[in-house]
Structure 1
């Protein structure tokens, strides 16, 4: 009987959840609740709500982009294959969807495809209205990408800022030795925890950067072997390697 205007967000969400428990096929209810879950950082609940809204009320760019954001947020910000598929579905429905464009570029950056990510963000920035809420996020992403480019050749997620500063003043030989040490450390971590998909992509990229194509190919094949040749991870590894000019061996 309480006026909704006098209710807290938690009370309104609880009321919506009670309604959906009694009416689980109310697509509009799920559609309303999904972005609220997202803002409340209830990411797995948001994934479920977006999937229900899409199943019951059909596809829309906003729903697919929201689903992708929820999946990525639940994974700590990593744009997985599932999240990528949702963002790509959103762009098919609305090629100008900013959320989908932003996160797809972020996924490229996470895979070490920095130039493609930068190009994506720059294209997005050129098309955004001046008053768009996305401009700040894109500008920040481009600034971070440029900072990482300054330290090109240093493996992504490897050294911290102090390492990068030190590397810039090293001789080429010392710099390569430092990178080799970090790569060896990463290889050892993967030996202890082989089911780290992001780690395998980082190792592959690191060997390519060092000009060690044979070791990069060996890392690619070992990563594929860990997850199985038919796995989503194996497909992702192979596509990532191809983007670096590397192919797997039988």
Structure 2
């Protein structure tokens, strides 16, 4: 509303600028000054004559000349007044109406071409908040899942869905999706690597024999695959082959650029094997750089597990997510909660302790 008031005021000012010259009388104000001057001159002649400064003959000549000039000035003034008669007035009114119409029309045309008449629509299309972004994401995910349920042989569809499951921490679904992609579309490094990573995630970071076989297939197809080489080195470390793991880590570091994001992790693991460093700390991401939908998912998972509990994989996913977000104290707390919730499984505490070691966390106490 304020914008339109401003535009109306500006339009009125523009019209006023156009009409102002038309509002002035068209008669020449100099003519009126001449008439007054000659009248004053006649009066002055009469005074001079009365004081004896002018003779009668000289006074009469001066009266005739001033009278003649006064008549001429008066005649010119009448002609100018006639110019502002009805035809002139009609022309002035026409010019005023034309200005009143053209100025707003031209202004709106220029605004439509160079202004922002769609600003309200742009405001309506402003980025959605976390809750709305999460709702849109879930809706799109459901559409993809529905499509694949009706067309399970769509390998490219599984290629799209599987990494999403993996990033969401839905590791069983990710494993199923990668397996389906391999079954319908054949093997390639991306599918092999994704399935292997899903198996490692399901094993709480343990490189199983199945995952190791998949990583070896990735290396056969792509010898420079850093993730596959790293997990194979990690598998050696977990199997107790410390020398083999150190050698593999060093080879990775030798061919890496200093600014590669995984270099610090490799150096820390290598230092641990050599006894010169504590447990590695997972690199964190500033919360401002985390997409709103990811933050919403972490918060939703945290609330659900706190209220209803969940599987070991879900607890581990939550702990990892909190560490990545830099919330290490919360991660330690959730790790302790997970141990309490999974106490019925005698092997769960050991796996969670190994997860804590990989993340550089302590078990902490359970907060009631």
Q: TM-score range by the shorter chain?
A: 0.5 to 0.7
Q: How does 1:157-236 map to 2 (within 5 A)?
A: none
| Structure 1 position 34 matched with structure 2 position 166 | no
Gap regions ≥5 residues in structure 2: 1-124, 279-345, 351-368
Given that 2:196 and 2:211 are in contact with CA atoms closer than 8 Å, whether structure 1 keeps it comes out as yes
Q: Deviations over 1:185-235 (max 9, x none)?
A: xxxxxxxx9x9xx9xxxxxxxxxxxxxxxxxxxxxxxxxxxxxxxxxxxxx
Instruction: Tell me by how many angstroms 1:55 deviates.
Output: 1.6
Residue in structure 1 matching 2:245, options 117, 125, 143:
117
In structure 2, C-alpha distance between the alignment counterparts of 1:67 and 1:148, rounded to whole Å: 34
In structure 1, C-alpha distance between the alignment counterparts of 2:240 and 2:203, rounded to whole Å: 18
Given that 1:87 and 1:100 are in contact with CA atoms closer than 8 Å, whether structure 2 keeps it comes out as yes
Gap regions ≥5 residues in structure 1: 151-192, 199-250
Q: How does 1:96-175 map to 2 (within 5 A)?
A: 96-147=224-275
| Structure 1 position 51 matched with structure 2 position 179 | yes
SS in 2 for 1:147: coil
SS in 1 for 2:274: helix
Residue in structure 2 matching 1:9, options 137, 141, 164:
137
Instruction: Tell me by how many angstroms 1:89 deviates.
Output: 0.6
Q: Compute the TM-score of the two structures, normalised by the length of structure 2.
A: 0.38
Q: Deviations over 1:127-167 (max 9, x none)?
A: 123343332332232232223899xxxxxxxxxxxxxxxxx
Partner residue, 1:83? 211
Given that 2:271 and 2:277 are in contact with CA atoms closer than 8 Å, whether structure 1 keeps it comes out as no
Higher CA-based Rg: 2
Q: How does 1:16-27 map to 2 (within 5 A)?
A: 16-27=144-155
Query: May I ask how many residue pairs the two structures share in their alignment?
Result: 152
| Structure 1 position 60 matched with structure 2 position 162 | no
RMSD of the alignment, in Å? 2.9
In structure 1, C-alpha distance between the alignment counterparts of 2:148 and 2:276, rounded to whole Å: 46
In structure 2, C-alpha distance between the alignment counterparts of 1:69 and 1:30, rounded to whole Å: 16
Q: Compute the TM-score of the two structures, normalised by the length of structure 1.
A: 0.55
